[in-house]
Structure 1
């Protein structure tokens, strides 16, 4: 079968590697039970109130939403914050860690996900790039300064049926105006990128050490192709895992039309047989 050949090819690339770049999009969280909001259909299933008012993902994931209806915007992001805190990473994260432990330079993560699942799974905080920021960090809405601070102490209560924040609006500790997640939203000119820029500096320093870098990319879509472009920018072999868009740029790459967890389990099994 073609899939078996591709799994064998993926395992062979991993055996030859000395460093692993992990690219992850929204599809990576699906196996943990997290929704993918790239289409309005998925968003409205998760948040019927937004569907009732025909509020799109582009509209709610937007700094203007905090200005127009702060409790609705924080209802959306606050619910996601609570959900991500409760969610346990699936076994694919463990498989990736086991792969990385066998490589001289280990792994580095590049993800567009804001959920903090890699940190929760035990990946080194200093080896993760969150290119769209993190829901677990906050900034001022204005913003009044370049400050970014952890959301660890923030507790939010949500009326889930109405996607509505019922607890006090989170405030900026400096100007006491409203705060927001430190996430790159649509039409977002106020996002503070300092934290992500520092993460990128660490990534560039790390990958220069590698002689045989490979990329394993999972669940990275084409509508906001940040992760796919990053994966391809290194000009190294790519193992692309995506049930909808498995196409790869080079014949030497691997494309698997599968979910992340299923594909990683097959690759792990193949590696185990020849270890």
Structure 2
């Protein structure tokens, strides 16, 4: 199989992963049935998936933080090993690789990928920040989450004690996970990895490189999808493999150095 040989022969691999990669591992923000099972109270309130609650302002702090606590616990802590990530690691783990992902669930790290080779420009659920923000400080989510979950009403899924709702330890302002949701997002925790990523790309700009684009769509294409295409375009020795259920298309300018693989990523990788 041409793709198998291509991956086997590659010495340098760049992995670009979007929401479709985590969806293949069961973390699907569009899946109504999964949402109903995990968040039955929110389902009764009329919500049908996680995307509908991103940035939603119409709920009380007790309700929305009950949801956030359950969601972050599930995505960042409960979900650990996933076959699709481990299959990918089995293909590239012994190569010179780097990962850039728009996902904030730390699934790459939890499945064996070296944290020093992972760049997450959209943030990380395991960090919290002030929403103002009053400083560049970020805080470990775990103790904050533990406090929230200790006061999560098992029936209403609301936070029963207002003091458990996180407030900035410096200014007393509102807090949120350190994920890109507006101009308040604190970039500092990712600057070092961003610099490493840029250096790695420039180091390999004129050497053969296999680019594996997995599940990147058009929600935030400027974060991963378009950069993968641009790197392919500017490096004549690069080849792009795009694994995508809905949008495997590539620009005409790099079509002769690309393969479009339409399908579920877990099923595609399992065949390699």
TM-score, length of structure 2 as denominator length? 0.80
- Name which of 11, 15, 26 aligns with 1:18: 11
Measured after TM superposition, the shift of residue 163 of structure 1 is 5.3
- Name which of 179, 195, 198 aligns with 1:204: 198
Partner secondary structure for residue 124 of structure 2: strand
Cα separation, 2, equivalents of 1:146 and 1:139: 8
> Relative to 1, partners in 2 of residues 1:244 and 1:33: Cα closer, same or farther, differing over 3 Å?
same
Cα pair 2:14 2:98 within 8 Å, conserved: yes
**Which position in structure 2 is the counterpart of 1:94?**
86
Q: Which runs of 5+ in 1 are unaligned?
A: 1-7, 268-275
Cα pair 1:140 1:172 within 8 Å, conserved: yes
**Which position in structure 2 is the counterpart of 1:261?**
266
Measured after TM superposition, the shift of residue 111 of structure 1 is 0.9
Cα separation, 1, equivalents of 2:176 and 2:16: 26
**Which position in structure 2 is the counterpart of 1:272?**
none
Deviations 1:199-239 (A, max 9, x none): 21111112233322221122222233232112212123211
Q: Tell me the C-alpha RMSD between the 2 structures.
A: 2.7
Q: How does 1:38-187 map to 2 (within 5 A)?
A: 45=36, 47=39, 49-50=41-42, 60-62=53-55, 65=57, 69-84=60-75, 85-103=77-95, 106-154=96-144, 155=146, 156-157=148-149, 158-159=152-153, 162=156, 164-166=158-160, 168-185=164-181
Moved more, 25-34 or 118-127: 25-34
Deviations 1:140-163 (A, max 9, x none): 122110112221323132457755
Deviations 1:45-77 (A, max 9, x none): 464555555568666322x739x7333332332
Partner secondary structure for residue 203 of structure 2: coil
**Which position in structure 1 is the counterpart of 2:248?**
246
**Which position in structure 1 is the counterpart of 2:229?**
232
**Which position in structure 2 is the counterpart of 1:194?**
188
* Structure with more contact order per residue of length (Cα contacts < 8 Å, sep ≥ 6): 1
Measured after TM superposition, the shift of residue 198 of structure 1 is 2.4
Measured after TM superposition, the shift of residue 195 of structure 1 is 1.8
Cα pair 1:20 1:213 within 8 Å, conserved: yes
Number of corresponding residues: 252
> Relative to 1, partners in 2 of residues 1:230 and 1:43: Cα closer, same or farther, differing over 3 Å?
farther
**Which position in structure 2 is the counterpart of 1:3?**
none
**Which position in structure 1 is the counterpart of 2:235?**
none
Partner secondary structure for residue 14 of structure 2: strand
Cα separation, 2, equivalents of 1:131 and 1:160: 35
Measured after TM superposition, the shift of residue 172 of structure 1 is 2.1
Cα separation, 2, equivalents of 1:171 and 1:102: 43
Cα pair 1:36 1:42 within 8 Å, conserved: no
> Relative to 1, partners in 2 of residues 1:245 and 1:170: Cα closer, same or farther, differing over 3 Å?
same
Partner secondary structure for residue 241 of structure 2: strand
Corresponding position: 1:216 with 2:212: yes
Cα separation, 1, equivalents of 2:14 and 2:33: 29
Cα pair 1:218 1:241 within 8 Å, conserved: yes
Cα pair 2:25 2:84 within 8 Å, conserved: no
Q: Which runs of 5+ in 2 are unaligned?
A: 233-237
